[in-house]
Structure 1
């Protein structure tokens, strides 16, 4: 038993890099980015011939993947080369979007579809870093750039990103994504469910360019136990992130505070303030919030409020609020149905 447990742990240790993705960059809509939305070429692959060889071995786990691995985007050198796919000769799907509602022949299709987008990219500064960010892909996505695997993401409604600084080129990049929406007994949704598991790149795809050291993550809110205190954290990503000064600026509250990271680039803070306009359904007030380092700046709009439960009530800013809504999936907003 102990030996089996050790074997399982060893397997998970080996597998974990294959399942990993880069730490998520937050607030991508307020960062410098280049959209990859629009028309993507695609190949439907129900037997996953573009992913496995005839021994059912994954091409991307081999030292020298076959040219018939779809992520290679290979072209024949001569007419006798046996390359049985060609993205450049295929139709297009729009991104963001699902394939089921875009193509009548794919209305009830569950399985693998390969997406390909070609693009050129020149960095604003040669020292900058570049990430490819996906708002969502339903359900399992495996991502490749210029024939190299970036990683894997599982989950249809969560964003993910990968760093491509050392892979992206100024000309002739090709981004390939294998998306699989097959339902699984242990998945979400499971085999027997009450909504259709629409497949595809369902939210925005973009390139994000950052300085070498940048603001990766932050969270700013009211202290749940004291609505006069604004608290939160900031996390930097990059080299030399220890003891870095960050400016937190909220003009509407006259807050202009310098905070400093620890050795891991992380810092927490608590600030006492007065006269906060609390966010509510009647007055959904948002404050401009600016986080700034010597090389990076992120701007956000944040509403401050408290929310908690008391018995059977939900309290917003310590006042009862009634939430209206029902849980019926709406799939055809322009036709008959309820949502």
Structure 2
């Protein structure tokens, strides 16, 4: 018993030492969840629930860091400690410094390998790192990656040496000085442009696997033929591989299928198949096994939904969006996914879930994820709660044309060959990473012509690469007769100033009703909104007025709409909630009533 108390005392002293080495940066507002963040308990949840293994090791926590001149050798000494996975510029990182295009961010930490992993391959996973990443284990280069929004992994088995190992990561992010997709990040934040995000911003983790293992799952429902297809991507596929998929409704096995030779498993679903929708977001549980000679080499847990996104002309000749072959007015907020304490990274998993839950509480059935990609758990929560997602491609390229609004002249920008190749690579990686999530209904390659180029070609490739979803070519941007939608932006009130008789016509952005709530603002003097009011009642009244106008435009042609926006973001004060999520600016009951009226407008007819 004495030894137990000594051990507890040691760990208590160690925790105090950790806290002494890390402190959240002061000076800005923060969410309620920031207070729950500690170095020994940072985003501990399994990061990839759509393909889950039971055995893994989380590497989030305190790492050493140094900011060095770009292109220089690794540092001899480090500047201090950073809390991973929060970007260096964020308050929760404990650093709060801008790295910039002329510097690189270097990380270091040690880790051990559990003895139970002996004889296994060990994979090192990064949820997302912005932007160019180089990784070493015990001084051995194990890989590189470019892209600020997608997961990547390295097999580090041959670089390991016994139990104790050293991991080093070097990151370069040119922000708006580069050609890469970056979303709303700029070197000098103002207006609708926000703080840079450099480095690791999603969970880092280790996972043991067999020599042959499942790298990815590509899950495709077909409700018209009552089929579910599951393509298991195996690292070193051979003719000996047998993939087995079992489908469960709760604990009841309802369907199963097998394949060999790398084939896709096609599963006949039961006659009384349950369809997924915002009102009934039913998910089937999947168990996927990789077998060789009758022995299980790998096994992952997953899930799937039977649903279909399409368009069809209604009785009045208007092209409507459909879910499961039924018209549905898709209505939701523009959701940028920024946090005052974590920037790109929600402080906790509860915080990540909160914005989605409030969207559901407000009566919406959709979210437009605006020029950012979220961690995998965010999409799983949308799947579970029944929220349709329109997914933007993060905009980029250092060309200033789209920042000073010259795109209204109607010309597309000319990208360099390097810039174009980067866009195509990262767009494909985003689509690959998110393909299996049932919630995603629409891909949006461009927003308001920000970096827009070769639109018909990009849209056609997107449609061919994923024919199961709709494509909104350019939300509010230069319009071309391609894809599935004509997407208008109009602030502040909704207006149907263009109409497409061959595609669905949607209102991709409107609203922007602002209210500065003192004590809950990012900066005291530089607050911005399309229009501003001074009370919850005024904001709610204006919101309801616009919603009624939108409702009257649905018979004339609108098939979906997006309200700006879920929360305030930095100096933007046009959110339904404040940036710190501590104040809901609207009357929830009134907002939900009018939102439900809009969402049900087509399904009632």
Pair 124,329 (structure 1): closer, same or farther in 2 beyond 3 Å: closer
CA distance in 2, matches of 1:138, 1:31: 28
Superposed CA offset, 1:9-45 (max 9, x none): xxxxxxxxxxxxxxxx994544421111100100111
Pair 279,272 (structure 1): closer, same or farther in 2 beyond 3 Å: closer
Partner of 2:330: 322
CA distance in 1, matches of 2:245, 2:232: 10
1:303 maps to 2:302: no
CA distance in 2, matches of 1:222, 1:216: 20
Partner residue of 1:186 out of 179, 183, 187: 179
Tell me, yes or no, if the aligned pair for 1:100 and 1:106 is still in contact at 8 Å: yes
CA distance in 1, matches of 2:198, 2:245: 40
Pair 125,171 (structure 1): closer, same or farther in 2 beyond 3 Å: closer
Pair 140,114 (structure 1): closer, same or farther in 2 beyond 3 Å: same
Pair 288,140 (structure 1): closer, same or farther in 2 beyond 3 Å: same
Partner of 1:207: 206
Partner residue of 2:232 out of 227, 231, 234: 234
Task: Give the deviation of 1:121 after TM superposition.
Answer: 1.0
CA distance in 2, matches of 1:195, 1:309: 36
CA distance in 2, matches of 1:203, 1:287: 27
Tell me, yes or no, if the aligned pair for 1:26 and 1:217 is still in contact at 8 Å: no
CA distance in 2, matches of 1:329, 1:206: 23
CA distance in 2, matches of 1:332, 1:170: 41
CA distance in 2, matches of 1:332, 1:234: 39
What TM-score does the superposition give when structure 1 sets the normalisation length? 0.72
Tell me, yes or no, if the aligned pair for 1:38 and 1:96 is still in contact at 8 Å: yes
Partner of 1:108: 98
CA distance in 1, matches of 2:160, 2:307: 42
What TM-score does the superposition give when structure 2 sets the normalisation length? 0.42
Task: Give the deviation of 1:272 after TM superposition.
Answer: 4.5
CA distance in 1, matches of 2:57, 2:94: 31
CA distance in 2, matches of 1:295, 1:47: 43
Which structure carries more helix by proportion? 2
Task: Give the deviation of 1:168 after TM superposition.
Answer: 1.4
Superposed CA offset, 1:58-116 (max 9, x none): xxxxxxxxxxxx2xxxxxxxxxxxxx6124xx411111111101368744332311000
CA distance in 1, matches of 2:137, 2:336: 39
- Which consecutive unaligned segments of at least 5 residues does structure 2 have? 1-47, 187-191, 291-295, 313-317, 342-519, 523-567, 569-573, 576-605
Superposed CA offset, 1:231-257 (max 9, x none): 231222247x31422221112274453
Tell me, yes or no, if the aligned pair for 2:123 and 2:207 is still in contact at 8 Å: yes
Tell me, yes or no, if the aligned pair for 1:248 and 1:255 is still in contact at 8 Å: no
Aligned pairs for 1:235-274 within 5 A: 235-238=233-236, 241-252=238-249, 254-262=253-261, 265-274=262-271
Tell me, yes or no, if the aligned pair for 1:123 and 1:209 is still in contact at 8 Å: no
- Which consecutive unaligned segments of at least 5 residues does structure 1 have? 1-24, 51-69, 71-83
Superposed CA offset, 1:118-138 (max 9, x none): 111135243311110000001
The total of aligned residue pairs comes to: 277
Partner of 2:403: none
Tell me, yes or no, if the aligned pair for 2:222 and 2:228 is still in contact at 8 Å: yes
Task: Give the deviation of 1:145 after TM superposition.
Answer: 0.8
Superposed CA offset, 1:179-229 (max 9, x none): 1121244222389683333112100000110122222222222126x2512
Pair 267,229 (structure 1): closer, same or farther in 2 beyond 3 Å: closer
CA distance in 2, matches of 1:116, 1:105: 15
Partner of 1:8: none
CA distance in 1, matches of 2:52, 2:255: 24
